[in-house]
Amino acid sequence: MEQSNKEHRKRKEKNTAKKKLHTQGHNAKAFAVAAPGKMARNMMRSSDVNERKLHVPMVDRTPDDDPPPVIVAVVGPPGTGKTILIRSLVRRMTKTTLNDINGPITVVSGKRRRLTFIECPANDLNAMIDVAKIADLVLLMIDGNFGFEMETMEFLNIAQHHGMPRVLGVATHLDLFKSQSTLRASKKRLKHRFWTEVYQGAKLFYLSGVLNGRYPDREILNLSRFISVMKFRPLKWRNEHPYMMIDRMTDLTHPEILNAQGNKVDRKVALYGYLHGTPLSSSPGTRVHIAGVGDFSVAQVEKLPDPCPTPYFQQKLDEHEREKMKQEGEASTGTTTRRRKRLDDKDKLIYAPMSDVGGVLMDKDAVYIDVGKKNEGLSFVPGQEKGEGEKLVTGLQTADKNYAEIFDGVGLQLFSNGFALQGDEYQDDDEEEEEEEELDENKDQGRASLRLPRVHGKAIHDADEIIDDSPSDEEGNEDVDGQPRLEEIDFDDNINNKNEELAMGSDSEFELSGDDEDNWQRKAASKLNGKINHRRKWDIGKLIYMDNISPKDCIQRWKGEDASDEAAESDIEEEEAEDNFFQKRDQNNDKTHNYEGDLEKFVPYFETIEKLVQKFSNLDAIKDRFLGAPSLGDDQNDQKMNDDDEELYGDFEDLENKDAFAGGQEEGAESASNSDAESEDSFADFEKEQKKELTVDEERELNASKKEKLRLQFEMEEGENFKEGDPENEYDTWYELQKAKIAKQLDINNAEFESMTPEQRQAIEGYKAGSYVRVVFDKVPMEFVENFDPRVPVIIGGLLPTELKFGIISARVRRHRWHKKILKTNDPLVLSLGWRRFQTLPVYTTSDSRTRTRMLKYTPEHTFCGANFYGPLCSPNTPFCGVQIVANSDTGAGFRIAATGIVEEIDASAEIVKKLKLVGFPYKIFKNTAFIKDMFSSAMEVARFEGAQIKTVSGIRGEIKRALSKPEGHFRATFEDKILMSDIVILRSWYPVHVKRFYNPVTSLLLKNKTEWKGMRLTGQIRAAQNIETPSNPDSAYKKVERADRQFNGLKVPKAVTKDLPFKSQVHQMKPQRKKTYMAKRAVVLGGEEKKARTFIQNVLTISKDKEQRKKAKKQDQRKERLKRLAKAEEEKSQKDKEKKKEYFASHPKKRSAGDDDNGSSGKRRR
Amino acid sequence: MSSRGSYVVFSGSQNFRLRLVLATLSGKAIKIEKIRSNELNPGLKDHEVSFLRLLESVTNGSAIEISYTGTTVIYRPGIIVGGSVTHNCPNGKPVGYFVEPMLYLAPFSKKKFSIIFRGCTASHDDAGLEAIKWGMMPVMEKFGVRECALHTLKRGSPPLGGGEVHLVVDSLIAQPLTMHELERPTISSIRGVAYSTRVSPSMVNRMIDAAKVVLKKVGCEVNITADVWRGENSGKSPGWGITLVAETKKGWCYFAEKIGDAGDVPEDIGNVVAYHLLEEISKSAAVSRDQLPLALVYMVIGKEDIGRLRITSNQIDEKLINLLRDIKSIFGTEVFLKPVDYDNTDDFIATIKGVGFTNTSKKIA
């Protein structure tokens, strides 16, 4: 059969719009907008897309060159494969297999990137909160076979309120699906659910089954690639605080103390880790918070060599070394660095001090070395070591000398170029004696008592402390005497002296410092040395901060005014001697040097007018400070200045000299006088002359200074104002301008820091992020050490000054919509705000149209409300979340995050009120006046409320006038209208509510069982425990209001009144009818048979009605009975069902039984 | 809680106001010991107690404990709240003594500052009204505090006073801008105000003429205004004085001021102030000596970036060293002084890293 197709229709040649464009060789499109609507839409869309990309410009304070490792947290419910994932990733990146994962593991993942993996303990809410605060990337483990669990949702919600790190979902257990279609369907379902939680299009990885205790290599490779190229945005909180996750803990408490005082003493603890965030201040006593322990002052910080450096950093170090070698003149080795694309095996470092990497396990008090399995052959064979640990031990075995032998012939070398001193030569030296003794002791039996250690040249602030210790000016001279600032030898007796003096030193140390001899000696020595040392040039930067030198001395030393020095010193002595007598002192002081007198004085010190007149008789010195001043050719200073400029602007010699002179100030070009031109000529000659004289070195120097000046000028133009007001500047948008500014400032910071010496840099910048530091804390509770568990992350967060203060925080909070119950005012709530987790008693409030803050008893159901609570302050705009219970044993199945919010304001106090209605009743009513009773109990109370507004229930407003004398507490009030006796009078007042000052930090890390921290109990919990009924005021109960209908009497107008009313207002009353109606006229009288019949019928009807009624009542009773029966049956049935269900689920657990959670770590599921 | 009982301890009465101001900004408790403990009248002076009162009224929750003898003060700062306050200054010190430290606090408060000060408006030792208005406020403006003003409602010369000024600071900023000033700015003009209360206006004109004679030499525009106060707004005592300000295009300025005593010749005062101005210019780089504390403190409480300010070696005096030591003991920040090597002056660049202070007391919208 033949196919019948439609006939082809040829396309009509239409005169289309496109054709029209090209008429007569004219391209219309080239000259006008063809489709303005479309174009507008396109533009709109593209600008929308661009706009969405923008974020508020924020300074990223992570250093570019050596950033800290990225913290990758693996989070998930128990049994989702967290440990296996870490193990697989570590194996992928470093080719090391970990048996046990304890604490953070740092690995090198790329040339410039390191990763720190941490496993968040499953089902530990405290740990989840801490991890959410520091993780840069979260690998969120989801059991694909089961779906999302409560922990996952809780973690996501916690993370969202602490700045939301990057989140990668990882779905595991996908091999358990039998059929492909269900797998696909559930993958899709998971993905979409994940997207609604994180963001649309968030990446979710799927990992299938486990092979050899690891996930498949290909899948892990993909995941690790994804991680290693991931970029991170700075988060606000972390960009403002230093923080650190510790990967090692050591108890430094001296064993002697433990022996003497038992193990219940506070410990000295060293915590190690990489610093993140902003630099940690190097000044002593910086306050930090250890999450789960409390606030502490840092006793000491020390930067350690990086245990896990990136290849890039190592390469830079090598280059630096090479540079040094070159400078020293040695022949370079000639090996140039090859550019490698891949990581070398030797670069694939791993650092996990608390795990068992390489057979070495560093515990808190010992180092364990894994010797492998028994049947693997001999261990500790030199040359055949199986791990780093064995190497260490075999190394020790081969040592042929003991330490005493090694150091036998070695003397003490004081200076690098001095000769070594042998111990016996200085046996009788006073100052060394003790130390020697100590040494001897060490040789013999070791030290038995505590020594106060003073470490040679360690951290900077320690050195400063040493200097600070010396209290009086006299001792300051010691430093002057050319001794190095870091004391290298322990002068123990000296130190003791100093300490004593410090202890005693109060009003005048001079008088109190007992040993005059010593002082005299020192003074004599300083005087002897004086002549040499006064010639020394002092660094003012250092002098300023040497607290033992008085400011006056500082200036003198710096300026090298040695002539007056001696005199001044004696002056001081005199003055201090005078201190002893009670004598008026300010007089002579003010007269002799009024300059130093009162530092409170605002007006600075000036020379006498005669000197000033003399000084400024010639204004040349400050001539260059004024705009439009004529340049003078004769002054040497000016010449030099011009000279420089001339060279600088060598190319523009034709320009007016003035411009150059004013240093690029355009305003200078007001008038160019003839003298300028002349001077220019003369300069040109002068310059030529000078050029010849310059040697190469000088020229180089000159060029360098020129360069510097140019750089600075560029900075001035670019760095300072960026031509902000100028619409022609190179930045298209405000955003770009801000970005440029931030970048410029960072450049300046880097440049300035690089120009400092390392010590100065550390003092000013602090310990910057990325450095591996050891932080020592004194007085850490012993429980922290005793109950230390490496699996639980320990986080140290730096605190800003505000966060050290306590006060009332007012915040905007909202009950989490997944939390089952609303929250009650003054019920304890554990808040995670800033670094801290603490329990507090919030008062929920609402604002009555901004006139007052009114207390709410409970949080509203679906909206924000205010909350005021006491606690450590935190800057406004900080988000937080709150939970009611953190202890796992008290947790039900519900969602634990109870509230989320944001800090609005901080203050020392808060004004919150609650409504108080006072009720009274009228007992006598005059026209607009009434006497009210029952509102107050005494006249005094009334007096307090005189003039207060009152109101009746019906809305008549009034005012309290005066207390009545007789019945105590009754008063007279006036109203705008006459009130009724049945009215209730109400006085609405506001009663202040105080926020309870309760702050209870969650010290979960001090517990043996970290998940069982219990604080103050909730009101409900206490009531349940003590079997107390919830108090209920019957007046507060909501019940149906039943109001009796009021019967009003008819209106009766008295005759006298009616008489006077106008006709229009007359009350119309009809006269009674006089004529009889038709019916009335014909009265029907029943009689005889009919009457009887009617009576009978009525009787019958009455009886039947009664019968019916009784029947009905009976039926109703029966019906009630039946309903009761039915309800009972129904209840029984449901009970039975429940039991059946319980029985079934007891024997067929759906996911895991509740008791499984506690042994969380071992919660690997058997399938 | 935990920080209770730990203070930064100072001793001596010097730098009293600044220490309290720094403590308030940093939120750290301080203890000042040995306040004039060796003098005939030991302890706090009238005006110092008055200042403590003022501090208490512009903050919320601060606790001040003064020992029985008045030689020890413990100050636990609260939160800077500002608001409308009236402060009666004791006659011993002029309003400048109280206004000056308020300039450090005002931009970082919860509410706008609006304080009326009553008392003397001038003295020999403390900042006068023009010094604050034309000398200090431009510095604040350089750091981003744009809307601040000092309105003179009444002038009151010492000894009886009777003046009234209104300090209004309307811009509440999160933190001061980071300063970079590496050059000595060039002076474009010299302005000034010569005032008198309850004396003949001719005094003012004579001062102006004398100052102009001296300043004529520098060859830049000089403009001095006469400000004569009469009637009830001119306080209770006669008095007169002059303030000269050298302005630069970049917004920096230098100033000098002096008031006349009974028996002084106006020409002398004008002359002296003009020379003082020249001296101040010769001694300062970007800021003058009396502006330096304000500038440095604003730099210290700035962002966690490096700020730079050029100072001269003449500006490093005892006052500065005391200031820097106090800053270090409260904020822990050190100033790094780097000699300027690109021109032949003995100037320094004071390099300061801000502490990352932010105005936390302000409510979010």
pLDDT in tens, A961-1006: 999 998 899 999 999 999 999 999 999 999 999 999 999 999 999 9
Higher pLDDT, residue A845 or A1059: A845
Q: A376 with A464, same domain?
A: no
| B87/A contact by beta carbon, under 8 A | no
Select the more confidently predicted residue: A759 or A563: A759
Instruction: Find tokens 């001792």 and name the residue.
Output: A475
Contact A579 B364 (CB under 8 A): no
Question: Counting every residue, how long is chain B?
Answer: 365
Domain extent at residue A386: 359-396
From A142, A122, A58, A130, select the one nearest A881 (Cα to Cα): A130
Per DSSP, helices labelled H in A280-387 are 311-327
Burial B142-152 (b: 16+ CB within 10 A, else e): bbbbeebebeb
Reply yes or no on whether the pLDDT at A285 is more than 60. yes
Return the number of other C-beta atoms located less than 10 Å from residue A1039's C-beta: 6
Please list, in sequence order, all residues whose beta carbon lies within 8 angstroms of the beta carbon of residue A709, skipping any fewer than 6 positions away.
Answer: A644, A648, B342, B343
CB nearest A630 (choices: B124, B178, B219):
B219
Extract the tokens encoding A266.
């506070």
Closest CA to A804 of B277, B330, B260: B330
B103 touches chain A (CB under 8 A): no
Put simply, the answer to whether A705 touches B219 (Cβ < 8 Å) is no
Shared domain for A390 and A475, answered yes or no, is no
CB atoms within 10 A of CB A272: 18
CA distance, residue B234 to nearest chain A CA (Å) = 24
Residues B271 and B293 in one domain: no
- pLDDT tens across B255-275, in order? 999 999 888 899 999 999 999
Q: Which residue reads 């909070």 in tokens? A: A813
Q: What is the token pair recorded at A285?
A: 């006593």
In DSSP notation, A1116-1151 reads HHHHHHHHHHHHHHHHHHHHHHHHHHHHHHHHS-SS
Q: Quick one: B273 and B213 in the same domain?
A: yes
> Which residues, other chains included, contact A221 with Cβ-Cβ below 8 Å and sequence gap of 6+?
A92
Residues A167, A168, A169, A171: what is their CA dihedral angle, to the nearest 10 degrees? -150
The predicted model gives A400-414 an average pLDDT of 58
| Nearest CB to A628 within list B81, B183, B220 | B220
pLDDT score recorded for residue A591: 37
| pLDDT level of residue A594 (50, 70, 90 thresholds) | very low
Q: Is the pLDDT of residue A526 over 60?
A: no
What 8-state DSSP symbol labels residue A1072?
A: P
Identify the domain boundary among B255, B283, B311. B283
Identify whether residues A145 and A177 lie together within a single domain: yes
Residue A525 lies in a domain: yes
Strand partners, A960: A973
Instruction: Report whether B210 contacts B271 (CB < 8 A).
Output: yes
| Phi/psi at B92 (5° precision) | -65, -30
SS3 A975: strand
Q: Which residues of A881-912 are buried (b: 16+ CB within 10 A; e: fewer)?
A: bbbbbbbbeebeeebbbbbbbbbbbbbbebeb
- Of chain A, the percentage scoring pLDDT greater than 90 comes to 41
The alpha carbon of residue B53 is apart from the nearest alpha carbon of chain A, in Å, by 17
Q: Which of A191-200, A255-264, A692-701, B285-294 has the lowest mean pLDDT?
A: A692-701
User: Tell me, what DSSP letter sits at residue B90?
Assistant: P
Of residues A904 and A1150, more confidently modeled:
A904
Report CB contact under 8 Å: A596, B3: no
Q: Tokens in use for B264?
A: 């002084």
Cα distance between residue B109 and residue B107, in whole Å: 6
Q: Which chain B residue is nearest to residue A627, measuring alpha carbons?
A: B188
In-domain check, residue A230: yes
Q: What is the DSSP letter of A564?
A: H
Token match 């003078």: residue?
Answer: A632
Q: A374 and A498 in one domain?
A: no
- Which residue of A lies nearest to B286 if distances are taken between CA atoms? A625
* pLDDT level of residue A665 (50, 70, 90 thresholds): very low
- Check whether B327 has a pLDDT greater than 60: yes
Asked if residue B330 is part of any domain, the answer here is yes
| Residue A669 clears pLDDT 80, i.e. is over it | no
- Identify the pLDDT of residue B344: 75
Cβ contact (<8 Å) for B1 and A999? yes
Whether A111 and A186 map to the same domain: the answer is yes
- The answer to whether the Cβ–Cβ distance between B34 and A630 falls below 8 Å is no
Residue B324 and residue B252 in one domain: no
Task: Report the domain count for chain A.
Answer: 3
**What range defines the domain where residue B237 resides?**
187-283
Domain finish residue from B266, B283, B300: B283
Kindly report the length of chain A. 1167
* Residues of B in Cβ contact (< 8 Å) with A906: 79, 360-361
The mean pLDDT of A630-655, rounded to a whole number, is 42
Average pLDDT over residues A121-131: 93
pLDDT band at A400 (very low <50, low <70, confident <90, very high): low
Point out the residue among A582, A612, A720 whose CB comes nearest to the CB of B180: A720
Q: What is the pLDDT of residues A908-957, one digit of tens each?
A: 999 999 999 999 999 999 999 999 999 999 999 999 999 999 999 999 99
Nearest Cα neighbor of A559 from B321, B284, B14 is B321
**Per-residue pLDDT, A676:** 42
Asked which of A579, A595, A630 is the last residue of a domain, the reply is A579
Q: How many CB atoms lie within 10 A of CB B293?
A: 24
Contact A287 B3 (CB under 8 A): yes
Residue A665 is given by DSSP the state: -
| Region label for B336, one of left (φ > 0), alpha (ψ between -120 and 50) or beta (otherwise) | beta
Domain presence at residue A1100: no
Q: What is the interface size between A and B, counted as CB pairs within 8 Å?
A: 244
Of A513-522, A1062-1071, A1135-1144, least confident by mean pLDDT is A513-522
From A303, A280, A279, A284, select the one nearest A461 (Cα to Cα): A284
Are B126 and A602 inside 8 Å of each other by CB?
Answer: yes
Confidence of residue A843 (pLDDT cuts 50, 70, 90): very high
Largest Cα span, chain A: 163
Same domain, A473 and A533: yes
> Regarding predicted confidence, which is higher, A675 or A379?
A379
Q: Which of B2, B326, B344 to mutate to test the interface with A (most CBs of A within 10 A)?
A: B2
Give the three-state DSSP class for B150.
strand
Is the pTM higher than 0.80?
Answer: no
Considering the domain boundaries, does residue B309 fall inside one?
yes
- Interchain pair B344, A640: CB under 8 A: yes
Tokens of B169: 């600071």
Any A CB within 8 A of B278 CB = yes
pLDDT at B73 over 60: yes
- Quick one: average pLDDT of A682-706? 60
Region A340-368: mean pLDDT is 72
- Examine residue A476 and state whether it is found in any structural domain, yes or no: yes
B99 belongs to a structural domain: no
Query: Could A600 and B187 be called an inter-chain contact, meaning their C-beta atoms sit closer than 8 Å?
Result: no
Q: Rounded CA gap, A203 and A889, in Å?
A: 35
pLDDT digit string, tens, across residues A443-501 = 444 445 554 444 443 333 443 444 444 333 333 343 334 333 333 333 344 444 444 44
Higher pLDDT, A392 or B281: B281
Mutate to test the interface with B, among A626, A759, A878 (most CBs of B within 10 A): A626
Peptide bond before residue A305 is cis, with ω within 30 degrees of 0: no
Which chain B residue lies closest to A746 (C-alpha atoms)? B305
Q: For residues A101 and A151, state if they share a domain.
A: yes
Q: Which residues of A touch B187 (CB under 8 A)?
A: 625-627
Same-domain status, A521 and A569 = yes
Q: Is B180 on the interface with A (CB under 8 A)?
A: yes
CATH code of residue B267: 3.30.360.20
Residue B107 lies in a domain: no
Question: B235 and B301: one domain?
Answer: no
Minimum distance, in Å, between the CA of residue A720 and any CA atom of chain B: 7
Is there a single domain that holds both residue A89 and residue A197?
Answer: yes
In this structure, of A219-223, A408-412, A457-461, A1098-1102, the range with the lowest mean pLDDT score is A457-461
Last residue of one domain, picked from the residues A533, A561, A579: A579
Q: Which band of pLDDT confidence, cut at 50, 70 and 90, is reported for residue A1085?
A: confident
Decide if B1 touches A, using CB distance below 8 A: yes
Average pLDDT, stretch A346-354? 85
Alpha helices in A599-695 (DSSP H): 609-615, 620-623, 636-648, 657-661, 674-693
The verdict on B222 and B268 lying in the same domain is yes
Mean pLDDT for the stretch of residues A417-425:
53
Say whether pLDDT at A337 is over 60.
Answer: no
Nearest to B79 among A715, A716, A807 (CB): A807
- Residues of chain A found within 8 Å of residue B343, distances taken between Cβ atoms: 641, 644, 705, 709
Task: State the nearest Cα–Cα gap between A905 and chain B, in angstroms.
Answer: 5
**Residue A677's pLDDT is what?**
39
Residues of A in contact with B252 (CB under 8 A): none
* Whether A133 and A86 share a structural domain: yes
pLDDT at A809: 95
Residues from chain B that touch A807, judged by Cβ atoms under 8 A, are 61, 78-79
Q: Domain of A199: which CATH number?
A: 3.40.50.300
B37 touches chain A (CB under 8 A): yes
In a domain, A553, yes or no: yes
Whether B251 and B304 share a structural domain? no
Enter the tokens of residue A930: 């009434």
Question: What DSSP assignment string belongs to A802-866?
Answer: GGGSEEEEEEEEEE-TTSSS--BTT--EEEEETTEEEEE--EEEEEETTTEEEEESB--SSS-EE
Nearest alpha carbon to residue B115 among B128, B125, B100: B100
**Average pLDDT of the segment spanning B48-72:** 94
Other beta carbons within 10 angstroms of residue A151's beta carbon come to 23
Same domain for A319 and A391, yes or no, is: no
Under 8 Å between Cβ of A967 and A973: no
Average pLDDT over residues A533-559: 74
Distance from the Cα of A579 to chain B's closest Cα (Å) equals: 7
Determine, for residues A765 and B187 on separate chains, whether the beta-carbon distance falls below 8 Å: no
CB proximity B342 to A under 8 Å:
yes
Assign A298 to helix, strand or coil.
strand
Shared domain for B193 and B273, answered yes or no, is yes
Q: Considering only residues 345 to 364 of chain B, which have any Cβ-Cβ distance to chain A shorter than 8 Å? A: 348, 351, 353, 355-358, 360-364
Q: Which residue has the higher pLDDT, A639 or A264?
A: A264
Distance CA A287, CA B3 (A): 10
Contacts of A782 (CB under 8 A, 6+ apart): A263, A264, A265, A266, A267
Label the pairing between strands A929-933 and A971-975: antiparallel
Q: Burial of B12 by CB count in 10 Å (0-12 exposed, 13-18 middle, 19+ buried)?
A: middle
CB contact under 8 A, B361 and A630: no
CB A443 within 8 A of CB A404: yes
Q: Is residue B235 part of a domain?
A: yes
Rounded to an integer, the average pLDDT of A611-640 is 66
Same domain? For B236 and B302 the reply is: no
Which of A905, A898, A895, A896 has the alpha carbon at shortest distance from A816? A898
Q: Which residue from B218, B304, B322 is facing A629, i.e. has the nearest CB?
A: B218
Residue A230 Cα, gap to closest chain B Cα (Å):
27
DSSP letter (8 states) at residue A309: -
Tell me: the pLDDT tens digits for A153-179?
Answer: 999 999 999 989 999 999 999 999 999
- pLDDT band of A123, cuts 50, 70, 90: confident
Facing residue for B127 by CB, picked from A602, A667, A903: A602
Whether residues B233 and B253 fall in one domain? yes
Q: Which position has the token pair 């939120």? A: B27
Distance between CA A202 and CA A226 in Å, rounded? Answer: 13
The token pair at A126 is 């405290």
Q: Would B147 be classed as within a structural domain?
A: no
Cβ-defined contact of A555 to B37 (cutoff 8 Å): no
- Chain A hits for B303, Cβ within 8 Å: 59
d(CA A984, CA A963): 18
Which residue, of A579, A612, A630, is where some domain finishes? A579
* The predicted structure's pLDDT at residue A419: 59
Q: Cα separation of A85 and A93, whole Å?
A: 12
Q: Do residue A529 and residue A477 come from a single domain?
A: yes
**Considering its fold, how many domains does chain B have in total?**
2
| Whether residue B142 has pLDDT greater than 60 | yes
Neighbours of A783 (CB within 10 A): 16
Task: Give phi and psi for B342, each to the nearest 5.
Answer: -100, -5
Handedness of CA A159, A160, A166, A170 (dihedral sign): positive
**Where does a domain end: B247, B266, B283?**
B283
- Asked if residue B144 belongs to a domain, the reply is no
Least reliable range by pLDDT among A196-200, A456-460, A1010-1014, B192-196: A456-460
Considering CB atoms only, which of A545, A609, A906 is closest to B79?
A: A906
The pLDDT score that the predictor gives to residue A338 is: 56
Please provide the DSSP assignment of B181-208 as one string.
E-S-PPEEEEEEEEEEESS-HHHHHHHH
pLDDT digits (tens, 9 = 90+) for A51-87: 888 888 888 888 888 899 999 999 999 989 999 999 9
Place of tokens 């593991």: A105
Q: How confident is the model at residue A621 (pLDDT cuts 50, 70, 90)?
A: confident
Alpha carbon of B124: minimum distance to chain A alpha carbons (Å): 8
pLDDT of residue A593: 42
Asked if residue A358 has pLDDT above 70, the reply is: no
pLDDT confidence of residue A841? 97
- Tell me which residues of chain B, numbers 300 to 319, contact chain A at a CB-CB cutoff of 8 Å: 303-306, 308, 316-319
Decide if B226 touches A, using CB distance below 8 A: no
DSSP string, B283-331: H-SSS-TTTHHHHHHHHHTS-SSEEEEEE-GGG-SHHHHHHHHHHHHHH
**Quick check: B361 and B53 in contact, CB under 8 A?**
no
Q: Predicted confidence band at A9 (pLDDT cuts at 50, 70, 90)? A: confident
Which of A283, A541, A712 shows the shortest C-beta gap to B182? A712
